[in-house]
Amino acid sequence: MNSPSTKIADLERDLERILDNQRRLGKRILWLLFLPFLITAAVVWMFHNLSVRLADVEIGTKLVTIERYVGTDRNYPWAISQYKQLANSDGRASILTRLGMLYYLHDPQGNETIALEKLREATRAEPANWEAYRNLTYIYFFSGREKQAIEAGKKALALNENDANTYNNLAWIHATSEEFGDLSLAQTYAEKAVALTEERQSNFLDTLAEVYFRQGERERARVTLRKAKAVADDPKGAIHKIQAHFKKLFPNEAL
C-alpha cells in the first residue's frame, strides 16, 4: 500500500503531465489561429511583388516606345512630356537622368538650368547613379564650367571605370584648358576612351589627335585624324568636323 506522500507525488506527476499536454495543445491552437494570418501575409507579399514587377514591365514598355520615337523623329517636347509624367509617379534616378538630358538636348541654352536641376535630383535619389554624373560632366563641359565638369567626371568614373564618353570629355579639358591643362592625364584619358570603343568613335579619335598634336607628336596626330575620318558615320557632320580640325592643325596638308 502506497504511503500518502507517494500518492501526492503521483498526483503531482499526473498534474504536470496534464499541464504539459495543455501547453502543447495551446501552442497548436495558437498556430491554427495564426496560420490564416501567415498565409494572408504571404499572399499579400506575393501580390505586392507581382504588382511591382508588372509596374516595372509597364514602365519599361513605355520607355522603349518613347525612345523609339525620339530616335526617329527627334520630337523632344513630346518625349519630355512623357518623361515628366513618369517622373511624377516614379521618381527613380534613371527617369530623372533621361528627363534632364532631354531638356538639354531640346534647348541647351534655354533649358540648361532645369536640365542640371533634374540631374542633381537624380544623384540625390541614387548617389551611385553614374549616368547622372556622366551627363552632368557633359553639360558642364559644353557650358565651359571646367572645374565642375572635372568634379562630376571623377565621380562618374569612380562609379563606372568604363565610361568612355566621360574619359573623352575630361581628356579634352585637360588638353586644352589653361587652368587645368595636363597633357599626360589628357593622353591617359583619351587613349582609354579610344581603347574602350575599339577605335570606332570618330570624336574620341579626334580628341586623341588633339592631345598628340599638343604633345608635339604631329605624325601620330595626323594618323589618328585619318582614322577618325575613316570611321566617321555622319558625312555631313562628323567628317566635316574632322576635316576642319585637320585643316586647323595642318593648314598646308590634305586629309
- Cell numbers representing residue 227 in the block: 582614322
- The pTM score is 0.75
Q: Which domain holds residue 169?
A: 165-255
Q: Are 161 and 126 in contact (CB under 8 A)?
A: no
Instruction: Between 176 and 239, name the one with better pLDDT.
Output: 176
What lies within 8 Å, CB to CB, of 183 at 6+ separation is: 174, 175, 211, 214, 215
Q: What is the pLDDT of residues 99-137, one digit of tens each?
A: 999 999 999 999 999 999 999 999 999 999 999 999 999
Please name the residue that has the C-alpha cell 575613316. Answer: 230
CA dihedral 221, 224, 225, 228 (to 10 degrees): -160
pLDDT tier at 91 (50, 70, 90 boundaries)?
Answer: confident
pLDDT of 17 > 80? The answer is: no
Specify if 126 maps to a domain: no
Specify if 212 maps to a domain: yes
Specify if 103 maps to a domain: no
Specify if 194 maps to a domain: yes
pLDDT of 38 > 60? The answer is: no
Specify if 249 maps to a domain: yes
- Helix axis angle for 164-176 and 202-214, nearest 10°, is 30
CA–CA distance, 224 with 250 (Å, rounded to integer) = 13
- Average pLDDT score over residue span 57-86: 82
- Average pLDDT score over residue span 199-209: 96
Taking CA atoms, 57 is separated from 53, 98, 166, in Å, by: 6, 18, 30
Number of domains the chain is built from: 1
Specify if 74 maps to a domain: no
Which pairs count as long-range contacts for 135-138, CB under 8 Å and 24+ apart, including other chains? Answer: 135/97, 135/100, 135/101, 135/104, 137/166, 137/169, 137/170, 138/101, 138/165, 138/169
CATH number of the structural domain spanning residue 193: 1.25.40.10
pLDDT tier at 69 (50, 70, 90 boundaries)?
Answer: confident
Q: What angle do CA 139, 141, 143 make, to 5 degrees?
A: 70
Instruction: Between 173 and 43, name the one with better pLDDT.
Output: 173
Specify if 61 maps to a domain: no
pLDDT of 52 > 50? The answer is: no
- Average pLDDT score over residue span 58-65: 71
pLDDT tier at 233 (50, 70, 90 boundaries)?
Answer: confident
Specify if 223 maps to a domain: yes
